[in-house]
């Protein structure tokens, strides 16, 4: 294992691999990525694999729009020997309460002002897009045809391979046990395989980012929360877009492989690191999906799993440096949408670290916003 | 066995495809399934996992007992969402 690194990234998910790739592409040498398990073993590989631009804050819309542009040509850009399975059949987001309907009208106005291709629909119009939809409880919907699905394992694999070709060293099954600091600066990282001296550490540890922050003496205002998902047997194409509802608490999409992935949140989840499966989720998910999309009730469940959302107080990510600890950077707190932001996380973090002009001004997303109380609450999180 | 022997029946993975992936450095069942879907089908690896472990053990030159198996996930047997929804929460306790 390397004894030194110019940049050391903690976390082998989409964020860590994309940051490493972007830095290496800009010519940075001696980049190390540490992953305590295997690549995409955390939140990235456990996510719902949905990719959307329809967000409720300007910052999240911009990051998502630019990320989708990247995914459209990512196989070529990353010279991948496989296929990241990007499917753009859209996201149909349905509203079931007057308050939600009002929010959706605001969202669409914002999204259109940013140049997004998105429509506000009646339940009848929504049913034309997804004929299986039970519109009984619905007030309205929004639809963006360029949203869709992307394979998290293969996308991370593509980034990791491209980074490796550019000289990045990725150490899997390597656990960070401590971070060394001296006079307000990062000087190294301790692992179960030995120490690495470095002056730049990026915390891209997803669900475990708070614990990594503590190792450096930095209190990051995030917590992790279990979210569960199930997948059905694969069937012929029957559901094009992702169907999603915040108020009904469901997202559901058919993958290119044919299986249907669905998930929902639980506001009673404890704030901890558990990733076990529960029968309560299976029961509630089955009831929710058979109510909104009745034909899906005929499909067999073959597996359920769980992963961690790393939540911030305003449900937007934290990007950038930390005042008082030179060389410590944060790329975390995605609140359930870190995978789809991966390309911009990679690009913007590389620009921040190298002191370059930012492609999107994300200064509002620094950790300072919490001390200054300058939060912008993201309304559209499931 | 020849190269075209099917190792994972749910996802149509042949011995040749499996060996190629292992030789590229994907040397655990968790990593392999995430790339080629072996073990992700309706049988959840009940048929293929031991075959995959045997190939990994041969490649690494270790005993099969030293290798990690994949995480066991619910549900045990495929039943439909409609059956689950109509069974109700109480009957599952």
Neighbours of A3 (CB within 10 A): 10
From A38, A279, A296, residue closest to B81, measured CB to CB = A296
User: How close B2 comes to chain A (CA, Å)?
Assistant: 25
Q: Are the C-beta atoms of residues A154 and B35 closer than 8 Å to each other? A: yes
pLDDT at A267: 87
Examine the pLDDT at A252 and tell me if it is beyond 90: yes
8 Å CB contact of A303 and B84: no
Write out chain B residues lying below 8 Å of A45, CB-based: 34
Q: Is A301 on the interface with B (CB under 8 A)?
A: yes
- The answer, for B62 touching chain A at a CB cutoff of 8 Å, is no
- Please report residues of B whose CB lies closer than 8 A to that of A234: 41
Mean pLDDT of A184-206: 98
Tell me what the mean pLDDT of segment A262-267 comes to. 94
Model confidence over A33-67: pLDDT tens digits?
A: 999 999 999 999 999 999 999 999 999 999 999 99
Low-confidence winner among A72-76, A243-247, B84-88 (lowest mean pLDDT): B84-88
> String of b and e for A267-298 (b: at least 16 CB within 10 Å)?
eebeeeeebebbeebbbbbbbbbbebbeebbe
Buried b (16+ CB within 10 A) or exposed e, A90-102: bbbbbbbeeebbe
Neighbours of B89 (CB within 10 A): 12
Q: What is the pLDDT of residue B87?
A: 86
Q: Note whether A4-47+153-222+314-371 and A86-146+223-311 share their fold.
A: no
| C-beta atoms of B79 and A300 within 8 A | yes
pLDDT digits (tens, 9 = 90+) for A138-169: 999 999 999 999 999 999 999 999 999 999 99
**pLDDT tens digits, A223-241:** 999 999 999 999 999 999 9
At residue A179, the 3 state secondary structure works out as: strand
Is some CB atom of chain B closer than 8 A to the CB atom of A303? yes
Please give the average per-residue pLDDT across A274-300, as a whole number.
97
Question: Chain B, 30-49: which have a CB under 8 Å from a chain A CB?
Answer: 30-31, 34-35, 37, 40-42, 44
Q: Pick left, alpha or beta for residue A217 (phi over 0 → left; psi -120 to 50 → alpha; otherwise beta).
A: left
Segment B77-88 shows an average pLDDT of 90
Contacts of B41 in chain A (CB under 8 A): 233-234, 302
By DSSP bridging, strand A318-322 and strand A325-332 are: antiparallel
What confidence category does residue A199 fall into, taking pLDDT thresholds of 50, 70 and 90? very high
Chain B contact for A83 (CB, 8 A cutoff): no
Give the C-alpha separation, A361 to A186, whole Å: 26
Q: List the Cα angle A248/A69/A307 in 5-degree steps.
A: 45
| Tokens 């987001």 -> residue | A93
CA distance A312 to A309: 10
Q: Is it the case that residue B89 has pLDDT exceeding 70?
A: no
Q: Which of A42, A170, A283, A299 is the mutation pick for testing B, counting most B CBs within 10 A?
A: A283
Distance from C-alpha of A230 to C-alpha of A282, rounded to nearest angstrom: 8
* CB proximity B15 to A under 8 Å: no
Residues of B in contact with A277 (CB under 8 A): 73-74
CA distances from A159 to A20, A81, B17, B62 (A): 9, 11, 22, 30
A250 touches chain B (CB under 8 A): no
> B88 pLDDT exceeds 70?
no
pLDDT over 50 (residue B93): no
Task: Please check whether residue A298 touches B, CB under 8 A.
Answer: yes
Q: Cis omega (within 30 of 0) on the bond before B75?
A: yes
CA dist list (Å): B42 to A25, A213, A239, A292: 41, 40, 20, 24
Superfamily of domain A86-146+223-311: D-Amino Acid Oxidase, subunit A, domain 2 (3.30.9.10)
Residues in A closer than 8 angstroms to B44, CB to CB, are: 302-303
- Calpha distance A163→A172 (Å, rounded): 14
Q: Cα A144 to chain center, whole Å?
A: 19
Answer for the pair A352, A321: CB distance below 8 angstroms, yes or no: yes
Tens of pLDDT, residue by residue over A99-111, are 999 999 999 999 9
pLDDT class of A303 with cuts at 50, 70, 90: very high
Q: Is B14 on the interface with A (CB under 8 A)?
A: no
Helix H, strand E, coil C: the string for A49-82 is: CEECCCCCCHHHHHHHHHHHHHHHCHHHHCCCCC
B15-69 residue pLDDT tens? 999 999 999 999 999 999 999 999 999 999 999 999 999 999 999 999 999 999 9
Question: Chain B partners of A38 at a C-beta cutoff of 8 Å?
Answer: 28, 30-31, 34
Cite the DSSP H helix spans in chain A: 14-25, 43-46, 58-72, 74-77, 98-113, 123-129, 152-165, 209-215, 279-292, 342-354, 368-371
- Distance, in Å, from the CA atom of A125 to the CA atom of A141, rounded to the nearest integer, reads 8
CATH architecture of the domain with residue range A4-47+153-222+314-371: 3-Layer(bba) Sandwich (3.50)
Closest residue of chain B to A282, computed from CA coordinates = B84
Per-residue H/E/C for B54-89:
HHHHHHHCCCHHHCCCCCCCCCCCCCEHHHHHHHCC
Q: What is the pLDDT of residue A382?
A: 81
Task: Count CA within 13 A, CB hemisphere, residue A123.
Answer: 14
Q: Which residues of A touch B46 (CB under 8 A)?
A: none
Residue ranges of domains in chain B, CATH in brackets: 6-92 (1.10.10.1100)
| Mean pLDDT, residues A295-324 taken together | 97
User: Which band of pLDDT confidence, cut at 50, 70 and 90, is reported for residue B90?
Assistant: low
| Chain A nearest-CA residue for B24 | A161
| Contact with chain B for residue A41, Cβ under 8 A | yes
User: Please, what is the Cα angle at A155 between A154 and A159, to 5 degrees?
Assistant: 115
Residue A367, C-beta contacts closer than 8 angstroms, at least 6 positions apart: A220, A221, A318, A320, A322, A330
Best residue in B84, B88, B90 for a mutation probing chain A (most A CBs within 10 Å) = B84
**For residues A200 and A271, what is the distance between their CA atoms, to the nearest angstrom?**
29
Listed by start position, the domains of chain A span: 4-47+153-222+314-371, 86-146+223-311
pLDDT per position as a tens digit, A345-359: 999 999 999 999 999
Q: What is the pLDDT of residue A291?
A: 98
């Amino acid at each position: 294992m390397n004894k030194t690194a110019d940049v050391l990234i903690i976390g082998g998910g989409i964020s860590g691999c994309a940051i490493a790739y972007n830095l290496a592409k800009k010519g940075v040498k001696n980049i190390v990525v540490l992953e305590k398990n295997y690549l995409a073993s955390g939140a990235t590989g456990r996510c719902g694999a949905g990719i959307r631009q329809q967000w409720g804050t300007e910052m999240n819309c911009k990051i998502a729009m630019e990320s989708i542009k990247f995914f459209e040509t990512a196989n070529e850009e990353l010279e991948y020997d496989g296929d990241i399975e990007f499917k753009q059949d859209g996201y149909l987001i349905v509203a079931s309460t007057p308050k939600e309907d009002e929010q959706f009208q605001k969202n669409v106005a914002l999204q259109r002002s940013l140049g997004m291709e998105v429509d506000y629909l009646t339940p009848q119009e929504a049913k034309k897009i997804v004929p299986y939809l039970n519109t009984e409880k619905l007030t309205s919907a929004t639809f963006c045809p360029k949203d869709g699905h992307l394979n998290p394992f293969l996308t991370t694999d593509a980034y990791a391979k491209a980074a490796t070709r550019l000289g990045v060293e990725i150490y899997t099954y390597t656990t960070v046990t401590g971070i060394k600091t001296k006079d307000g600066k990062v000087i190294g990282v301790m692992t179960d395989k030995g120490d690495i001296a470095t002056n730049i550490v990026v915390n891209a540890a997803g669900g475990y980012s708070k614990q990594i922050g503590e190792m450096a003496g930095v209190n990051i205002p995030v917590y992790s929360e279990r979210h569960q998902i199930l997948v059905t047997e694969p069937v012929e194409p029957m559901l094009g877009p992702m169907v999603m509802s915040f108020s009904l608490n469901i997202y559901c999409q058919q993958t290119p492989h044919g299986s249907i992935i669905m998930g929902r949140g639980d506001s009673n989840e404890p704030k901890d690191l558990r990733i076990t499966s529960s029968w309560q989720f299976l029961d509630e998910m089955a009831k929710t999906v058979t109510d909104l999309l009745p034909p899906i009730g005929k499909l067999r469940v073959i597996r359920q799993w769980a992963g961690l959302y790393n939540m911030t107080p305003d449900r937007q990510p934290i990007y950038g440096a930390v005042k008082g600890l030179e060389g410590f950077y944060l790329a975390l707190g995605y609140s359930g949408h870190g995978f789809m932001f991966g390309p911009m996380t990679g690009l913007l973090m590389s620009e921040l670290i190298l002191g370059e002009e930012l492609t999107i001004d994300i200064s509002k997303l620094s950790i300072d916003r919490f001390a200054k109380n300058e939060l912008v609450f993201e309304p559209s999180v499931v | 066995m020849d190269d075209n022997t099917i190792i994972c029946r749910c996802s149509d993975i042949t011995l040749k495809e499996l060996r190629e992936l292992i030789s590229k450095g994907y040397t655990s069942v968790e990593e392999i399934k995430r790339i080629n879907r072996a073990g992700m089908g309706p049988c959840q690896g009940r048929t293929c996992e031991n075959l995959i472990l045997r190939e990994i053990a041969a490649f690494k030159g270790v005993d099969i007992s030293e290798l990690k198996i994949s995480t066991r996930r619910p549900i045990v047997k495929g039943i439909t969402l409609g059956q689950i929804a109509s069974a109700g929460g109480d009957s599952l306790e």
